[in-house]
Chains A and B, each alone.
Chain A
Amino acid sequence: MLRGFAATIAVVATLLWSPFAYAQTAPASQAAGAKNQKAPVDPYDLEVHVDGWGETVPKVAQNANPAPAPVHDISGTWEPAKGWRNGVQAQGAYNYPMDGKHTLPFTPQGEQAWKAHKYGDGFGNSPVAEVNDPFEMCDPIGFPRIDLHDLRALEIMQSLKKTLIVYENDQVWRSVWTDGRDFPKIVEPRWYGYSTGKWVDNTTLVVETIGLDERTWLDNVGRPHTKDLRVEERFHRVNHDIMELTVTIIDPAYYTKPWNALDKYPLRLQSDNFDIREMVCSESEAAAYNQEISEQAAPDKPAGKK
């Protein structure tokens, strides 16, 4: 079993390595003065997007003409259409990155709560020792941050009564009930809340979520929320291959008006062979990272050899 696994890894590694073999030979042959050699390889062209199984994810054909969207169907594996890393949103929600130029409609209470959140990324980030991001401590990333930070591959599965959304990031799922039920009478705060969904037309599923744990942040730069946060997601399938996701934040105590953290953010359907890779927060690995990197780079650490 272990040998089989090792052999698989070796094959995958060889496959991954093969594109780079050309890169190392091209400059050498040019140095030898050979004529009619190909232009030097730009290492930035050597990216090969692979899934969790090590299989290459095919590039999208130019001028593709996708089929129409199916009715009441958003199932499948999806990735950000603008690039597999486009949904990282390290500096905060895609539509409101923390770059000193985007302003949220905070109430005074909301702004005060936000100032207590010390984030490590983006404009105005805090020193390492002050960062109090719960996800950095491997708390569950929670909702809607799972949409607004490191949105990578996600798999959607539909049944008659509910839709499951499985996320690459943090390896979590959400249940969206589509059987017409109301929210529970007693709401116990959850990291991922309580979600119900309704088809508003043939290709748009609107999901409402409440009951969200106040400990979670909305995004990677600490935008806060209250226990009364309500999130609306619109999954609109534009055609067979593309689905747009809009995420609206509704929390009057902290924001004077609803705001779209994502606005028609495009996701592309992937092959049904696409394997979602593991991406979890391991406390022991995070501790090792903290010891080797964060503590050594901390401002109060004396300079010098380790």
Chain B
Amino acid sequence: MKLISTVAAFCLLLVSAPLYAHHGNAAYESKKVTLKGTVTSWMWTNPHVFLKMDAKDDKGEVQHWVIELVAPSNIINFGFTPQTFKPGDEITVVTTAVAKNGSPVARLDKVILANGQVMITEGKQDGRAEAAQDHRANADK
């Protein structure tokens, strides 16, 4: 009996555990925002890499932003490595989308380093544009 209740409790825990949703696109809205600030953390993880930074808002208050990038296997092709950023680096981030709920969470369009170098995460060889073209062609059939 005790075993059954333990198993039941465990199952309940499993059911109530938060789901992971790294493709939660519905949580974002397309919006370009420019953030100037300082890196606090650079997390080289799957499924997506993320960059944490502090940036002041219009009122001069510091906001702790989390900037989402795509997978390491993608951004490695654009020069990003686990060593690209370190805490304290001065950067400028341009977003492609931000959280609809107003939280300081965004997706990266490009990042500009202190020396002016621009880093992006999409290119011309990766085949995304070709995929979109093929889909349009299929739809027209």
Of the candidates B48, B73, B101, B123, the one whose C-beta lies within 8 Å of that of A303 is: B101
Q: Is A112 an interface residue when CB atoms closer than 8 A count as contact?
A: no
**Contact A128 B24, beta carbon cutoff 8 Å:** yes
Give Cα distance in the complex from A85 to B121, angstroms.
12
Q: How many A-B residue pairs have CB under 8 A?
A: 218
Residue contacts A-B, CB under 8 angstroms, 21 given: A24-B115, A43-B119, A49-B125, A86-B127, A87-B127, A97-B135, A99-B139, A102-B139, A120-B24, A136-B23, A137-B19, A277-B73, A287-B20, A293-B48, A293-B66, A294-B22, A297-B101, A298-B24, A299-B100, A306-B66, A306-B104
- Additional 5 contacts, C-beta under 8 A, given A128-B21, A152-B73, A306-B104: A16-B79, A136-B22, A292-B52, A300-B101, A306-B63
Q: Is B10 an interface residue when CB atoms closer than 8 A count as contact?
A: no
A290 to chain B, nearest CB (A): 5
Q: Is B83 an interface residue when CB atoms closer than 8 A count as contact?
A: yes
| A24-B116, A97-B135, A102-B139 given; A131·B48 CB < 8 A | no
B124 to chain A: which residues have CB within 8 Å? 44-45, 47
Identify which of B1-9, B39-47, B85-93 touches chain A.
Answer: B39-47
Of the candidates B43, B79, B135, the one whose C-beta lies within 8 Å of that of A46 is: B79
A44 to chain B: which residues have CB within 8 Å? 120, 122-124
Interface size on A, residues (CB 8 A): 81
| A127-B24, A128-B27, A136-B19 given; A286·B47 CB < 8 A | yes
| A137-B19, A304-B102 given; A20·B47 CB < 8 A | no
Q: Which 7 A-B pairs have the closest CB atoms?
A: A83-B127, A86-B127, A303-B102, A47-B123, A120-B23, A128-B24, A85-B126
**Contact B103 A13, beta carbon cutoff 8 Å:** no
B121 nearest in chain A by CB position: A47
Of the candidates A12, A128, A288, the one whose C-beta lies within 8 Å of that of B26 is: A128
A56 nearest in chain B by CB position: B77
B67 nearest in chain A by CB position: A293
Give Cα distance in the complex from A45 to B123, angstroms.
7
**Contact A125 B20, beta carbon cutoff 8 Å:** no
**Contact B127 A84, beta carbon cutoff 8 Å:** yes
**Contact B28 A297, beta carbon cutoff 8 Å:** yes
Give Cα distance in the complex from A304 to B99, angstroms.
11
B120 to chain A, nearest CB (A): 5
Interface 1/0 per residue, B106-141 and A, CB below 8 Å: 000010010111111011111110110011001100
A264 to chain B, nearest CB (A): 12
A299 nearest in chain B by CB position: B101
Of the candidates A47, A89, A290, A292, the one whose C-beta lies within 8 Å of that of B125 is: A47
